[in-house]
Amino acid sequence: MIYKEDEEVNLLAKAFEERTLPKAEWTHAAHLTVGLYYCYHNPLGVAKNLMSDGIYWLNDAHGTPNTETSGYHETLTVFWLRTIAEFLRNNPDEKSLANLANALLAECDDPKLPLNFYSRERLFSLEARMNYVEPNLKPFTIPLDGLVFA
């Protein structure tokens, strides 16, 4: 998707929060855009909690069970939010959410990007789904600095 105005990003985040976003529109790009919205407006820990709660609630609204094998995945959520936080750190002068979202989507359009950081076994383990685990192939350049995700 190419965003023309910041309001388009704001409306997507609102639909996510209100659980009115159709399941077919809850795409990788939508995940990234909502994550960007939260990281832009909040510290990483707050963004993570808002994103996690929102995914759980939206999954419930869509009838997608959040279980040990389905739905919400803690490590993937934290991975993408850390990636977004790093992206924002590398683009400090851009203030337009639409421009940021477009650039982020161009840079992170591959949903398999986490496999550059995690082995398949580690990323798709029960532990990684239920709790955040650090990458085992390639480290992040931005440390968590003691953030605890609840």
What does the pLDDT look like over 79-130, one tens digit per residue?
Answer: 999 999 999 999 999 999 999 999 999 999 999 999 999 999 999 999 999 9
Tally of domains in the chain: 1
Which of 74, 43, 41, 42 is closest to 56 using CA atoms? 74
User: Which domain, by its residues, includes 49?
Assistant: 6-130
In 3D space, the residue among 49, 44, 59 whose CA is nearest the CA of residue 150 turns out to be: 49
Is residue 149 domain-resident? no
- Asked if 140 contacts 86 with a C-beta cutoff of 8 angstroms, the reply is yes
pLDDT digits (tens, 9 = 90+) for 5-40: 999 999 999 999 999 999 999 999 999 999 999 999
Q: For 54-75, what is the mean pLDDT?
A: 96
- Judge whether 10 lies within some domain: yes
* Whole-number pLDDT of residue 8: 98
Q: For residue 141, what pLDDT is reported?
A: 75
Q: How far apart are CA 50 and CA 65, in angstroms?
A: 19
User: Rounded to the nearest 5 degrees, what angle is found at the Cα of 96, between the Cα atoms of 93 and 97?
Assistant: 120
